[in-house]
């Protein structure tokens, strides 16, 4: 469950889209609310995130199987290099909000993640977040709405 407030620019080389994402706190079963996650259509496009409030984690992966996770809290700067898929998880009891910026012609490929999910998911275990293999999801019951984007507000 999250909202995106974005200032899109013309989709041409040299422009930057930027905005703020807010992920609500909560879980479906054991799994924390998170964004859908995507690769950039133009895979050489990187992205920069800056944490504004709350407590969360950026999970990243490549098509050749590398996985990385980094904390994102107020003041944290998280860099998503080219070729890395990325999604963000709210691990706290408050809203997680962060600023993002990426090349306007980068595009979004949500389809691969929608079909295959991420290699790792984040669940609550004994009151604490734990990164586990996606195969654990089979035991959790796969929810369809926990990474639903509620609204995208566009500002020109």
Answer yes or no whether residue 55 interacts with Fe ion by CB under 5 A: no
CB of 40 to Fe ion, least distance (A): 6
> Does the protein bind Fe ion through residue 105 (CB under 5 A)?
no
Q: Which is nearer to Fe ion, 18 or 124 (CB)?
A: 18
Nearest residue (CB) to Fe ion, 47 versus 105: 47
Looking at beta carbons only, is 86 or 123 nearer to Fe ion? 86
Q: Phi and psi at residue 139, in whole multiples of 5°?
A: -90, -5
Out of 47, 51, 72, 98, which residue is the one contacting Fe ion (CB under 5 A)? 47
Beta strands in 104-140 (DSSP E): 120-125, 128-133
Contacts 24+ apart (CB under 8 A), 5-9: 5/152, 5/153, 5/155, 6/152, 6/153, 6/154, 6/155, 7/154, 7/155, 7/156, 8/104, 8/154, 8/156, 9/104
CA distance 32 to 36: 12
Binding mask 69-88 for Fe ion (x = CB under 5 A): --------------------
Size of residue set near Fe ion by CB under 5 A: 1
Distance CA 67, CA 131 (A): 11
CB 106 → Fe ion: shortest distance, Å? 7
Judged by CB under 5 A, which stretch of 10-18, 22-30, 44-52, 109-117 contacts Fe ion? 44-52
Residues near Fe ion (CB under 5 A) are 47
């Amino acid at each position: 469950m999250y909202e995106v407030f974005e200032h899109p620019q013309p989709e041409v080389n040299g422009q930057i889209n930027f905005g703020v994402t807010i992920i609500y706190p909560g879980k479906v079963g054991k799994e924390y609310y998170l964004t859908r996650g995507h690769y950039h259509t133009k895979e050489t496009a990187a992205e920069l995130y800056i944490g504004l409030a709350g407590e969360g984690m950026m999970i990243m992966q490549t098509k050749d199987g590398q996985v990385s996770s980094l904390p994102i809290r107020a003041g944290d700067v998280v860099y998503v290099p080219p070729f890395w898929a990325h999604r963000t998880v709210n691990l706290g009891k408050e809203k997680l909000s962060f600023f993002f910026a990426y090349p306007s012609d980068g595009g979004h490929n949500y389809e691969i993640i929608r079909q295959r999910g991420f290699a790792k998911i984040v669940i609550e275990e004994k009151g604490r977040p734990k990164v586990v293999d996606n195969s654990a999801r089979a035991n959790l019951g796969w929810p369809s709405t926990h990474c639903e984007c509620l609204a995208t507000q566009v500002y020109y």
